[in-house]
Amino acid sequence: MNLSPRPRPAGLAPALQRRTLLRGAGLGLLGAAGLGTLAACGGADAGSSTGSASGGSGSLGDLSIQLSWIKNIEFAGEYFADSKGYYTEAGFSKVNLLAGGSAGTAAEAMVLSRKAHVGLSSPTLTGPAIVNEQAPLKIIGTTFQKNPFCLVSMEQGKPVRSTADLAGKKIGIQTGGNEQIFDGFCKANGIDTSSFEIVPVQYDPSVVVSKEVDAFMAYLTNEPILLAARQVDGQPIVPVTLGFADNGLPVVAETFTVLQSTIDEKRDFLKAFLAAEIRGWTDAVKDPAGSAALAVNTYGKDQKLDLEEQTKEAEAQNTLVVSDDTKKNGLFTMTDALVEENIKALEQMGTSITAEELFDLSLLEEVYEENPDLITG
């Protein structure tokens, strides 16, 4: 079966900008290379700082952040933190925002190889790396409070509004990590996978428009918006979504993954990073149009992004970033209940791990204790 990338159809240029939390062979990179090999290939310790860790202009040295996907709207907070000088004010001399992509190296591998201090990822990737590869990693915060994955279908086709609607349908699932996430979704809901057909697809939702599949595994903040801008049979498409977060898989996303050794040895470095990120994402949440402009005109200029579509994605993305809990406790925080939900969801997906093994939210707690003004409500 040919699974090479499909040509982009007219009007869907941003479609392949989609990110999957377990894209490609992310964990395979760890398994194939081994932790020792990865650690050796990065050169100097990316967790080290040049000068003191007390802040001040450039005192912390360079900061490298491995993004989970290409430079689109998903990283608006990082763009604001960079363009407004928040990283510099926190003490970093230079910031490298390293783009990911469909053929990119997993964030975990980049952090383990010390080519990045922080990797944007998900428990669905970091958890298995810790359990299966004994990777010395921890998650220190999360941008998205909700699982952004969904199944998107069309009102004009065979809509999938509930898990019961899966029966008899053709469901497009991207080969690789998304299969594991979808399998976890099915297990969490007691779904009989023999009741429908899984069709391997790429990341282009045009297969829903052409009705090659009835529903497509997608990001709530991306493909439904792309589809709504299209027409079928001369009528605007009406997307229908079935969110994973509200159906058994409440895993967070765009998490900050770091080495345990960086936590142990460069705590101030990571706290400075978190403080700058909070300021950047606070601005991004307040200004979706400004977020889109940074993505389209500056950081993702080579991606030929659409300003209107990116603005809509920024607005939708904010519903994943901000919750009642973050208004009370601050951006990136996780309540004990949310942590436990994630641990249970990972168990459903076949990864048994404790909260202590996966998360260390103490740095974020210290940042807010020391800077209570960063909680903006």
Mean pLDDT by 10 residues, the chain (377 residues): 28 37 41 38 35 58 95 97 98 96 82 98 93 97 96 97 97 86 89 96 93 95 93 94 93 97 98 98 98 98 95 96 97 97 91 97 98 94
CA distances from 33 to 29, 39, 61, 355 (A): 6, 10, 29, 27
pLDDT of residue 316: 95
Q: Which residues contact 180 (CB under 8 A, 6 or more apart)?
A: 22, 124, 349, 350
Q: Rounded CA gap, 14 and 337, in Å? A: 35
Given a contact cutoff of 8 angstroms between Cβ atoms, the answer to whether 153 and 214 are in contact is yes
Domain range summary for the chain, segments of one domain joined by +: 26-146+251-374, 148-243
pLDDT of residue 57: 67
pLDDT of residue 176: 75
pLDDT of residue 56: 58
Q: Rounded CA gap, 158 and 272, in Å? A: 49
Q: Rounded CA gap, 190 and 103, in Å? A: 33
* Homologous superfamily in CATH for domain 26-146+251-374: Periplasmic binding protein-like II (3.40.190.10)
Q: Checking DSSP bridges between strand 170-174 and strand 231-232, what pairing results, if any?
A: unpaired
Q: Rounded CA gap, 221 and 150, in Å? A: 10
Q: Cβ–Cβ contacts within 10 Å for residue 210, how many?
A: 10
Q: Rounded CA gap, 307 and 69, in Å? A: 18
For the purposes of burial, counting CB atoms within 10 Å of the CB of 84, is it exposed (0-12), middle (13-18) or buried (19 or more)?
A: middle
Tokens representing 299 are 């950081």
> What's the CATH code, domain 148-243?
3.40.190.10
pLDDT of residue 231: 93
Q: For residue 139, which of 35, 36, 224, 253 has the smallest C-alpha distance? A: 253
pLDDT of residue 103: 65
pLDDT of residue 264: 98
Q: Do domains 26-146+251-374 and 148-243 have the same CATH topology?
A: yes
> H-helix or E-strand containing 177?
helix 177-188
